[in-house]
Amino acid sequence: MTQHQRLLIIDFGSQVTQLIARRLRELNVYCEIHPFNAVDAHFLEKFAPRAVILSGGPASVTAEGSPRVPQSLFSMGVPLFGICYGQQVMMEQLGGRVESGHHAEYGRAFIAPAPGHTGDGIFAGLFGDGREEVWMSHGDRVTKLAPGFEVIGTSPNAPYAMIANEAKGFYAVQFHPEVHHTPHGRIMLENFVRMAGFTGDWTMASYRSEAIRKIREQVGDRRVICGLSGGVDSSVAAVLIHEAIGDQLTCVFVDHGLLRQNEAEEVVTMFRDNYNIPLIHADRSDLFLDALDGVTDPEVKRKTIGRLFIEVFQKYANDIDGAEFLAQGTLYPDVIESVSFSGGPSVTIKSHHNVGGLPEKMGLKLVEPLRELFKDEVRALGRELGLPDKFIGRHPFPGPGLAIRCPGEVTREKLDILRQADAVFIDQIRKHGLYDDIWQAFVAILPVRTVGVMGDGRTYDYACALRAVTSVDGMTADYYPFTHDFLGETATRIINEVKGINRCTYDITSKPPGTIEWE
């Protein structure tokens, strides 16, 4: 377990629980999210948090069998902060009362200070203009406070919107301080962690040295292999592990022939030339492209690529004597066990391609030095390790590569055209200084030919779609609002510079209902 001061977030299944963790990490506070049903008295003792936050959630404390926290939480002597459902569960378990069936409140609300309070404790610095704007999302509400609590702020529909038991360091709110729509939510969270004695010891420099120590401890004098995709996560993991164990690490970069323009060269140069990290460059494009011949179903494409990737990787890895560990760039959002109230597995939208299945098959143990980090923290760590900014800031790129940007059949001809069009689009975006404002941008080549006219001649070429989205985590996304000038200029450049494309469209679908990739 980490040596940092730790804050525990008990998750009751709110859609925005991860945002609590994000806000705290921004304050250099180390925290972990654990689902309520995994937190018992023993867990609390072992985790030894310096403070605990209870998240919101969809359940009603008035319903039988609804989630609770271990009663021992209230006698640990650590500060608590209950949010929405977290507030209600606190009141219920400490002797207050919560009722359903009142006027539900969703969206923006204003909190007024209770008589005699202008805000102190964790509410210090609020009510500057006499009220606080907050974001509410609740059906139930507290109707009687637990002993020892007092009201700090009220809204028309939540008379106990902000409450505190200063003596015990217990605080609770009916709204969500973690969302951006509560403009001063960050102040409350910051006050809370400072009051709980957090000194902001979660920094990338400290993470780096601690991670290096842990990797050395785990690996000893044995060998590690790392599957490199050229993406930020696996690259940062590889550089970090190399710093820890040097040449005991070998990277395997499987080139499946579905990479973007110059991508393979860039990855190989960075690892071999800049870092001197042992790297096997397995160019197996023919194997992959032959296997994809005639395949049009997106899931079959994904599964074919995933299966071959594992086979190729395994073959090269077997040649590395004494490899006992597989390094992966797993991130914290992949690790968080979200609480599912709907029960049952969620539907498979797309079979994601990763090296899952390999460790058991090959009898390898995992090294996952990024397991505690969010994506932007991985980028910060990459910078700390000296990776070039241009590399760190690269847009995410999916494991199955260009195959899923080529709806219908994947051919070498289409891939060539796609690579060129994609390079022009990205060049345009960089030239206009938009690259860092965009989560991901790419071109998809469509499986239709359309008629055009160039000069005095008729053309009959492929159509393509530009896709550019903003997103926080890839789970939801909005299309990027380019200007018409930008779109016009880009379409002209693609059609003029790329032989084989004579029509260009811009995809303005958000996610949901669309997905970011086309397949």
Q: Is 517 in the site for ligand XMP (CB under 6 A)?
A: yes
Q: Is 511 in the site for ligand XMP (CB under 6 A)?
A: yes
Among 42, 352, 430, 499, binds ligand XMP (CB under 6 A): 352
Residue 266 designated active-site: no
Site for ligand XMP in 384-413 (CB under 6 A): 396, 398-400
Strands (E), 195-306: 223-228, 249-255, 279-283
Tally of CB atoms within 10 A around 307: 13
Catalytic residue among 176, 184, 242, 353: 176
Q: Is 140 in the site for ligand XMP (CB under 6 A)?
A: no
3-state secondary structure of 348: coil
Write down the least CB distance from residue 384 to ligand XMP, Å: 24
* CA 476 remoteness from chain centre: 11
Catalytic residue among 31, 84, 251, 464: 84
Q: Report how far residue 52's alpha carbon sits from residue 178's, in angstroms, rounded to the nearest whole number.
A: 15
Please list, in sequence order, all residues whose beta carbon lies within 8 angstroms of the beta carbon of residue 211, skipping any fewer than 6 positions away. 240, 244, 369
Of 218 and 470, the one with the shorter C-beta distance to ligand XMP is 470
Write down the least CB distance from residue 351 to ligand XMP, Å: 7
Q: Is 356 in the site for ligand XMP (CB under 6 A)?
A: no
DSSP state of 95: T
Of 168 and 350, the one with the shorter C-beta distance to ligand XMP is 350
Of 39 and 477, the one with the shorter C-beta distance to ligand XMP is 477
Write down the least CB distance from residue 408 to ligand XMP, Å: 17
Write down the least CB distance from residue 396 to ligand XMP, Å: 4
Of 185 and 227, the one with the shorter C-beta distance to ligand XMP is 227
Please list, in sequence order, all residues whose beta carbon lies within 8 angstroms of the beta carbon of residue 486, skipping any fewer than 6 positions away. 428, 432
Among 353, 405, 467, 503, binds ligand XMP (CB under 6 A): 353
Using alpha carbons, select from 297, 312, 395, 313 the residue that is nearest to residue 351: 297
Residue 31 designated active-site: no
* Residue burial 473-502, b: 16+ Cβ < 10 Å; e: rest: ebeebebbebeeebbeebbebbbeebebbb
Greatest Cα-to-Cα distance within the chain, rounded to the nearest angstrom: 86
* Residue at 19: amino acid letter: L
Count residues binding ligand XMP (CB under 6 A).
13
Write down the least CB distance from residue 471 to ligand XMP, Å: 8
Residue 517 designated active-site: no
Q: Is 516 in the site for ligand XMP (CB under 6 A)?
A: yes
**Which residues are registered as beta bridge partners of 30?**
6
Of 301 and 503, the one with the shorter C-beta distance to ligand XMP is 301
Site for ligand XMP in 457-486 (CB under 6 A): 474
Structure tokens at 365: 């143990």
Please list, in sequence order, all residues whose beta carbon lies within 8 angstroms of the beta carbon of residue 112, skipping any fewer than 6 positions away. 130, 131, 153, 154, 155
Q: Is 329 in the site for ligand XMP (CB under 6 A)?
A: no
Q: Report how far residue 335's alpha carbon sits from residue 330's, in angstroms, rounded to the nearest whole number.
A: 8
Q: Report how far residue 290's alpha carbon sits from residue 515's, in angstroms, rounded to the nearest whole number.
A: 27
Site for ligand XMP in 42-61 (CB under 6 A): none
Q: Is 509 in the site for ligand XMP (CB under 6 A)?
A: no
Chain residues binding ligand XMP by CB under 6 A are 350, 352-353, 396, 398-400, 440, 474, 511, 515-517
Q: Which residues are catalytic?
A: 84, 176, 178
